[in-house]
Amino acid sequence: MLLNCDLGESYGNWTMGLDDQVMPFIDQANIACGFHAGDPQVMARTLKLAKQHGVQIGAHPAYPDLQGFGRRSMPHTHQELVNMLHYQMGALSAMARAQGMQLTYVKPHGALYNDMMASDKIFQAVLDALASFPETLKLMLLASGDADSYRATAKEAGVELLFEAFADRRYLDNGHLTPRSEPDAVLDSEQVLAQVKLLAREGVVITRSGKRLALNPDTLCVHGDNPHAVAMVRQIRDLLPR
């Protein structure tokens, strides 16, 4: 199981995250493409850092929402979504090629990610964007009890999926994440390590109600936005084989 992290989310003089500290311990960097965070300088620096540490790179596109950090849903037509994704994926792809690198996957950010998981129409638009993009890219999405249906739809579009789990989030019985508005949505350090161990060994999590839920993820999402988070990533890395 790989480790992925959302990176390159600084913007101008505003710094977000500890990219240089977390990059040595992850396998996949989800790099912001400028719509919710990131700019050409930040993107270039993040790509260089990923290359230095041999980390796979993926586009992390979002709704055009710098003020809200991509966390607000915004209605778009099907073609607008496709064009919006092509614009962001294309920008990062070009900057990656300039450094002798290549994108391998796409992970939508924030509200776009949540909307993709909740709406068949938005999921289809994301698939169409990847299917019509010049490069062959995988789509990263939430591992849940509906994995087979997502996989079948993606197969029709000719898109390969990467299923991810979250190290620090509590799961509901349907495989969705407990809303952050709930007091127990985010796990503490001890609970995080216990969940990672169970995912690594058996591919399951214990849900909020105490049930065992099979997720079998390809990759595990971790965070590196503060020193405590980076220390946790290092502990998680030690639990997983390289």
Q: Where residue 42 sits, what CATH number does that domain have?
A: 3.20.20.370
- Number of compact structural domains in the chain: 1
Average pLDDT, the chain: 95
Rounded to 5 degrees, what are φ and ψ at 11? Answer: -160, 120
What is d(CA 125, CA 119) in angstroms, rounded to the nearest whole number?
A: 10
* Contact yes or no for 37/66 (Cβ under 8 A): yes
Query: Could you give the 3-state DSSP secondary structure of residue 171?
Result: strand
pLDDT digits (tens, 9 = 90+) for 93-102: 999 999 999 9
Q: In the prediction, which pLDDT does 241 show? A: 73
Q: Give the count of beta carbons closer than 10 Å to the beta carbon of residue 216.
A: 13
Average pLDDT over residues 76-85: 98
Q: 60: helix, coil or strand?
A: strand
Q: Give kind and range of the element (H or E) at residue 167.
A: none
Residue 242 has pLDDT above 70, yes or no: no
d(CA 88, CA 81): 11
How is residue 25 written in tokens?
């311990």
Question: What does the pLDDT read at residue 98?
Answer: 98
What is residue 190's predicted lDDT score, i.e. its pLDDT?
A: 94
Q: Can you give the residue range of the structural domain that contains 208? A: 2-239
Q: Dump the DSSP string for 18-54.
A: -HHHHGGG-SEEEEE-SSSS--HHHHHHHHHHHHHHT
Higher pLDDT, 184 or 127: 127
pTM for the model stands at 0.95
